[in-house]
Amino acid sequence: MRPIGDRPSIRPASQQVTPNEHGAATQGESRRAGENPTLSNGQPAAASARFILPLANGNQPEPMPPVAVTKPRPTFDDAWNKTVDVAKTLPEPERVALINQFINRRITYRDDASNWGLSDFWATPTTLFAKGAGDCEDFAIAKYVALRQSGMSADNLRLLKGSLRRDDITGGANEEHVVLAYYAAPGAEPLVLDCAVQTLEPLSQRHDLSVGYGFNENQIFAEGINPKSLALIKGWPEMVDRLRAEGQLP
């Protein structure tokens, strides 16, 4: 069925245009420019998408309600959108495992200097996936955003800033590191989502990881720090604003 706006105007037989021998309407029969078309009942036809043909019984049907316009999803790749949609259907522990595995497999680790030519750069998930590579905080932010998009509360999530010491990764030296932590309930032992370790492990079992403080989009979690002092974390308040402005955070 053609859309209503594409239907041809209906004229009374007395107003039908008769083509001449060349197939074109004669000058006297063609409608003058600017002249409003009329329906068979003599009423002017509407020039909008609400143009409605009269029913056989002469009654006018109710106008169709305007179509609701939904806000488009942020521009992630199809794999991201499909993974988040699947995650929405899973219990939280399985959801966390799925998102952790998906991002660890899709993104290559690369430090900011090599990746962006900068000493420090925090990428949004859309920027990260367009690049295909990022460092530890980029992984953690992407996992945070994916889990928030799956319906998980910010209260269950914290980015943890600290240091990592692993012989196979850091050569035994301490290096700054950021991971994501999932808390099943307030005060529960968190599971660590880490780009350097593929398995989910409780924080107490990560002896290679030292944590200084935690934070999410709402507050900082650290002794002696005002919970609302997000400005103490360089770059994070601006990142939250960008994520919200771009519709990446619900």
Domains and CATH numbers, the chain: 1-69 (no CATH), 78-245 (3.10.620.30)
- Contacts for 201 with CB less than 8 Å, ≥ 6 apart: 191, 192
Computed over every residue of the chain, the mean pLDDT equals 77
| Residue-level pLDDT at 226 | 66
Question: Per-residue pLDDT averaged across 206-230, rounded?
Answer: 83
HEC profile of 145-165: HHHHHCCCCHHHEEEEEEEEC
Q: What is the share, in percent, of the chain residues with pLDDT greater than 90?
A: 51
| Residue-level pLDDT at 60 | 53
Question: Per-residue pLDDT averaged across 93-118, rounded?
Answer: 95
| Residue-level pLDDT at 78 | 87
- List the beta bridge partners of residue 133: 108
Q: Does position 34 have pLDDT exceeding 60, yes or no?
A: no
| Residue-level pLDDT at 46 | 45
| Residue-level pLDDT at 74 | 53
Residue 166: pLDDT band with limits 50, 70, 90: confident
Residue 68: pLDDT band with limits 50, 70, 90: low
Nearest to 141 by CA among 228, 173, 154, 21: 154
Q: Does position 39 have pLDDT exceeding 60, yes or no?
A: no
Buried b (16+ CB within 10 A) or exposed e, 227-242: eeebeebeebeebbee
Q: Does position 49 have pLDDT exceeding 50, yes or no?
A: no
Residue 169: pLDDT band with limits 50, 70, 90: low
Nearest to 248 by CA among 103, 150, 111: 150
> In this structure, how many other beta carbons lie within 10 angstroms of the beta carbon of residue 225?
14
- Give the residue carrying structure tokens 């955003």: 145
CA distance 99 to 113: 26
pTM of model > 0.75: no
Residue 130: pLDDT band with limits 50, 70, 90: very high
| Residue-level pLDDT at 188 | 93
Q: Does position 48 have pLDDT exceeding 70, yes or no?
A: no
Question: Per-residue pLDDT averaged across 86-111, rounded?
Answer: 96
| Residue-level pLDDT at 63 | 55
CA distance 23 to 89: 62
Longest dimension (CA), the chain: 94
